[in-house]
Chain A
């Protein structure tokens, strides 16, 4: 390994290069200026200048989620650091591997309330997997090594490296030597599942008559989709995915039940409630899934595979907990099933599949709305997603924001592959859609990337349109414009007597077409159902252009099914006037 004398700032860039980083998203400022000079002086890593630090972290996150490689963002101290917080919390809740490097004031000024000083380590502490405050320039390489190791292994998550300015000073040089290995005595994530637990799990799998596989974001993070699919096929089990897990199992497959939970399909929620066995993989029994935990799937035995021991039996008591990586544990189960393959009996599952089929037939989602002229005159938001699906042949990367549009996208776009559906499921961050789409487009320059958003959410990071122009990102923004904070309004309709407290702003919305054009992109407005498909076609035909497709949709549409709070998973609203209980 070559040894030479370089500054902390150069060492930082060299270390990132050693980690295989080729793109970073950031925004400069005083405390980061030495680092920015080092960025200027190297060729390996491209720096993308965003327009707000939140955008930098979301972009790094979108890059990470779509590519599976860690995403890197760099911000200055004080306001730069605090602007990154929402991005960090978003990455933390969805366990994505993001490394944020924040400039900090000089070490001798720390604690003196100096200009642009914020205790970044303190402020970010509850929303990071780990953080480092650099104490010596010489420590930068080993800290980078550890940070990437921690961010990407076990249950992944964001890591902050706070770098006081003096440790990046170009005048101070030291021998650069990048560590080959990393060993953290207090951090040894488990990979393989305990063999006894695997055997116990297999026994339950073989006994089940009414099983469901419930898989989450962990399967995608761990690249275990093919294992999951193989296992489901081997056993002929139905599969449901969480909002974070969509794409782990092919969305168009016959045995796929769709998403489960708050806005899950009728058949997925019914199956979860009425099954006799749940195999949960890389999912965490979040409150948006279980509804009331005391009424959650009372007759089912539960197997739970998760890399994070703290997720096991946290909310729901588990019969067979298995600590380990999704991929390894599923492989182990498949192997054990191979030994006991004579015990696999598809026939005994037939009545269960028929029961599920009947649920689907009676109350499943209608995936053929596109051609129907909407009775209310306005385009239905679901039709926009169906049109998007048709136009992109299900091949696009779809990012989303938060609200009704997000749920419609999750319900109506079929994801056949993992890492194609990128959304803030855990934190529910409005503003995530556009910057995360930038990260995806950088990771996959040749692919179609669409951001399904709402007129509320898109305005939370709209400034990134400027970044998209600078770097020529041909993202397609599909705006489901209902002129309202639709999801808030839906709750107010259902629970607050229709009192729309601060959820509408009809007369003060910008002209999104003009706005987009002023940023140098293309805007298209769609108002009528008959124009929808041709506009969608035009949008994707403009290969090299960012297009903002602003679609006026029916503002009165609600997202259904919807679980009734405090009750079980089979207690759903199916429409404005049909309830299951």
Chain B
């Protein structure tokens, strides 16, 4: 089972390595991970997708909560939430037609006579499908950011 967990941690050197270290140390896997400073410069927000059964997810959130640098943890999968990921793809000019890009809700964000950079935004699942549909157009390079998420109810991850 795939799960998205978000947390706020002290924006301090060493904090991120403790979070990441916990995963390897305890044998949990990380499928994706995003970190950035928040509007409060003393805090960073981290979103990760991981997999495991309910018991594993529960252990993960408890172990994360135990880290002194972690201020708050929210297992987004516990209630309603929305998730978005950014996908950037490079094509050589002419290998993909604009109709296909439009159909897949892509947006051209750079173009010259050699190549095209296109952005897609969606849930990770949607982007999996986009990539499948793009396969025949021979993309030159693919970058995914990993999913970020926010709850779609009043349960907020703030302090």
Spell out A's residues near B (CB within 8 Å): 121-122, 125-126, 129-131, 133, 150, 184-187, 308-310, 313-314
Contacts and interface: CB of A to CB of B under 8 A. Distances in A.
Contact of B71 (A185, A309, A313): A185
B66 A308 contact: yes
Contacts of A185: 71, 159
Contact of B18 (A125, A133, A308, A313): A125
Nearest to B10: A186
Contacts of A126: 21, 25
Given A133-B14, A313-B55, A186 B68 contact: yes
B17 A309 contact: no
Given A131-B14, A310-B62, 5 more contacts: A121-B14, A133-B14, A184-B68, A186-B68, A186-B71
A187 B71 CA distance: 8
A129 B68 contact: yes
A310 B59 contact: yes
A262 to B, nearest CB: 23
Contacts, number: 36
B66 A310 contact: yes
Contacts of B69: 186
Contacts of A131: 14
Contacts of B41: none
B86 to A, nearest CB: 29
A150 B159 contact: no
A309 B65 contact: yes
A309 B61 CA distance: 10
Contacts of A186: 9-10, 68-72
A150 B18 CA distance: 16
18 contacts: A121-B14, A125-B17, A125-B21, A126-B21, A129-B68, A184-B68, A185-B71, A185-B159, A186-B10, A186-B70, A186-B71, A186-B72, A187-B68, A309-B66, A310-B59, A310-B65, A313-B55, A313-B58
A122 B62 CA distance: 22
Contacts of A184: 68
B51 interface: no
Interface in B55-79: 55, 58-59, 62-63, 65-66, 68-72
Contacts of B13: 133
A335 B62 CA distance: 29
Contacts of A133: 13-14
